[in-house]
């Protein structure tokens, strides 16, 4: 594995950090998919544990071996930024609990990768991909990490990400961080994994984990899920707590599950929801969450549904248009009625959203740094900006314009911020998704999640051809992407989104679509040469 000027850190940290910086597509290793648990689902693991076919320790060791051979070497996918040195010890304890007939919960023995902007209070730092936080150890688990442990998950490690969740500057390359280097797309190693939860998407798709937790502000769960050929759930903001998540926007941020099947993603969602007094957004979810979403998974879930096809992305890529047309035929064949919708918000909400993000970024980051205690390596946003300016790696490929713009913003009491919040709420919710769905009596909206993955380019940055995440992201409403086919060998997803707290309905619809089409296939780690 090629190294890129790794930071000077303690010996054990060097062991668990992977400073991969090989040029995209540069690999001569022979790739194979003889992994014994290739494409295994959560129910398959649960059944295997019950039957004694394998132990949690055996499964975890197999995943560790897989990561070593496929992520750190071989094709060097580079989806993981750090591994949990206690993973096998945790697995042994879970095996003892199974032997005693005391499984913890729905994720008992399930290998999970956690995006490295979610705090864990263990031997792994939480870095947001930034060298400024390379030695940052939070004082407690994030709410999500605690819920995963409670459900019996083995957090095998931290997944690489676009540094600071892709909101640092321009022209960034998705999947690159100063700590972790560049994550690659497992379908084509020269292609980009998309979105800030890039390592999470690549890890699950490449069978380095069964489940991953990503985060989204706008597109960062659904885009890497789509580009890596998996299922991603961006929940209603407030369904999953953001406590212990390195923030961008209090208004738009949310963690969510990423998995290879709708059922696995639904199981993952049920394990991490709940009311958290430390995140007031979750108070609204008290009557709107389920700890088990699997009863909503119905093969005939499309029958009688009215689906709005949001046509704004149409015409950007004729190959994606062809896949979307086929998906619509599949939806109709399964009993749905599809109605074209050319516009959702009457006014462009992008400016309001960007301004809100800048205000909340400064406020949220300063609060997060304070939560790290007196030994925090970075105390405030100004210190972070200064660190990046003096570091030899951080600004090598792109700038920190967004951090600098956020630093210039005032407190959240300013009229500019309060006006933007109200304008966006009305424009995206009352006069946006809610209005359109009520006028047309819709159960859900659909649109292609994005275009096929572009070639990774550190000089020019990302090349987003099309996307549909903004309406749901700005409204804070749920969005689920499911594979809908391939452009050449590159996967493309179909997004299903709708009103607040409609995860059960969206899961019913997406499960029916997935079962009727079965587009997911394991990646082959092509070199793109």
Q: Annotated catalytic, 205?
A: no
| CA–CA dist 398, 47 (Å, integer) | 47
Catalytic residue of the set 196, 241, 243, 469:
196
Give, in degrees to the nearest 5, the angle at Cα 451 between 446 and 455: 160
Write the DSSP symbol of residue 5.
Answer: -
Catalytic residue of the set 22, 115, 136, 225:
115
- 149: enclosing H helix or E strand: helix 143-150
| CA–CA dist 296, 504 (Å, integer) | 6
| CA–CA dist 200, 211 (Å, integer) | 8
Taking residue 2's Cβ as centre, other Cβ atoms within 10 Å add up to 11
Query: Quick one: how many helices (H) and strands (E) in the chain?
Result: 17, 13
List, in sequence order, every beta strand (DSSP E) within 197-249: 211-216, 231-234
The tokens describing 182, both together, are 């560049």
Q: Annotated catalytic, 220?
A: yes
Locate tokens 């179909």: which residue? Answer: 494
HSE value, Cβ hemisphere, 13 Å, CA-based, for 25: 11
Bridge partner residues of 157 (DSSP) = 83, 113
The tokens describing 231, both together, are 């299922």
Residue 60, phi then psi, degrees to nearest 5: -65, -40
| CA–CA dist 27, 375 (Å, integer) | 40
Are the C-beta atoms of 174 and 149 separated by less than 8 Å? no
Give, in degrees to the nearest 5, the angle at Cα 506 between 504 and 510: 120
Alpha helices in 391-442 (DSSP H): 401-407, 415-425, 434-440
Bridge partner residues of 191 (DSSP) = 455
| CA–CA dist 313, 308 (Å, integer) | 14
- Whose CA is closest to 429, among 486, 502, 323, 487? 502
CA 24, 28, 32, 38 dihedral sign is: negative
Catalytic residue of the set 22, 197, 220, 468:
220
Locate tokens 């019950």: which residue? Answer: 50
Q: 338: left (phi > 0), else alpha (psi -120 to 50), else beta?
A: beta
Q: 474: left (phi > 0), else alpha (psi -120 to 50), else beta?
A: alpha
Q: Annotated catalytic, 470?
A: no
Give, in degrees to the nearest 5, the angle at Cα 220 between 484 and 292: 70
| CA–CA dist 108, 91 (Å, integer) | 9
Active site residues: 115, 196, 220
């Amino acid at each position: 594995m090629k190294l890129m000027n790794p930071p000077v850190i303690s010996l054990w940290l060097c062991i668990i950090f992977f400073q991969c910086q090989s040029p995209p597509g540069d690999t001569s290793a022979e790739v194979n998919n003889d992994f014994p648990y290739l494409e295994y689902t959560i129910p398959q693991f649960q059944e295997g544990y019950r039957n004694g076919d394998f132990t949690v320790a055996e499964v975890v060791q197999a995943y560790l071996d897989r990561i070593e051979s496929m992520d750190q070497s071989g094709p060097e996918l580079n989806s993981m930024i750090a591994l949990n040195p206690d993973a096998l010890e945790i697995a042994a304890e879970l095996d003892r609990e199974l032997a005693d007939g005391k499984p913890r919960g729905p994720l008992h023995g399930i290998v999970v990768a956690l995006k490295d902007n979610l705090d864990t209070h263990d031997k792994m730092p939480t870095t947001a991909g930034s060298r400024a936080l390379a030695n940052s150890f939070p004082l407690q688990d994030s709410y999500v990490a605690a819920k995963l442990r409670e459900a019996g998950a083995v957090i095998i490690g931290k997944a690489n990400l676009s540094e600071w969740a892709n909101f640092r500057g321009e022209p960034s390359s998705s999947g690159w961080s100063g700590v972790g280097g560049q994550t690659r797309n497992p379908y084509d190693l020269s292609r980009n994994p998309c979105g800030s939860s890039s390592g999470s998407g690549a890890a699950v798709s490449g069978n380095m984990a069964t489940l991953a937790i990503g985060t989204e502000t706008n597109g960062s769960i659904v885009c890497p899920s789509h580009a890596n050929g998996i299922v991603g759930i961006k929940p209603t903001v407030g369904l999953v707590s953001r406590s212990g998540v390195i923030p961008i926007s209090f208004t738009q941020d949310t963690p969510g599950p990423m998995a290879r099947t709708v059922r696995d993603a639904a199981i993952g969602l049920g394990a991490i929801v709940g009311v958290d007094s430390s995140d007031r957004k979750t108070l609204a979810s008290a009557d709107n969450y389920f700890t088990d979403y699997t009863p909503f998974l119905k093969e005939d879930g499309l029958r009688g549904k009215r689906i709005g096809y949001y046509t704004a992305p149409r015409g950007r890529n004729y190959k994606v248009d062809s896949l979307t047309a086929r998906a619509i035929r599949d939806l109709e064949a399964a009993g749905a009625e599809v109605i074209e919708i050319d516009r959702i918000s009457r006014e462009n909400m992008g400016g309001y959203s960007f301004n809100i993000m800048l205000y909340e970024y400064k406020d949220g980051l300063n609060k997060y740094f304070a939560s790290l205690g007196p030994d925090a390596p970075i105390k405030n946003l100004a210190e972070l900006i200064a660190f990046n300016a003096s570091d030899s790696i951080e600004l090598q490929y792109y700038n920190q314009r967004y951090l600098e713009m956020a630093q210039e913003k005032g407190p959240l009491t300013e009229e500019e911020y309060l006006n933007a919040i109200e304008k966006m709420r009305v424009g995206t919710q009352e006069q946006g998704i809610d209005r359109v769905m009520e006028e047309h009596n819709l159960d859900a909206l659909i649109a292609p999640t994005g275009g096929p993955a572009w070639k990774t380019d550190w000089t020019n940055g990302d090349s987003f051809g099309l996307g549909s995440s903004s309406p749901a992201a700005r409204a804070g409403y749920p969005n689920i992407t499911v594979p809908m086919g391939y452009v050449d060998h590159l996967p493309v997803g179909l997004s299903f989104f709708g009103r607040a707290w409609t995860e059960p309905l969206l899961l019913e619809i997406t499960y029916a679509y997935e079962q009727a089409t079965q587009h997911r296939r394991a990646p082959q780690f092509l070199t793109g040469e």
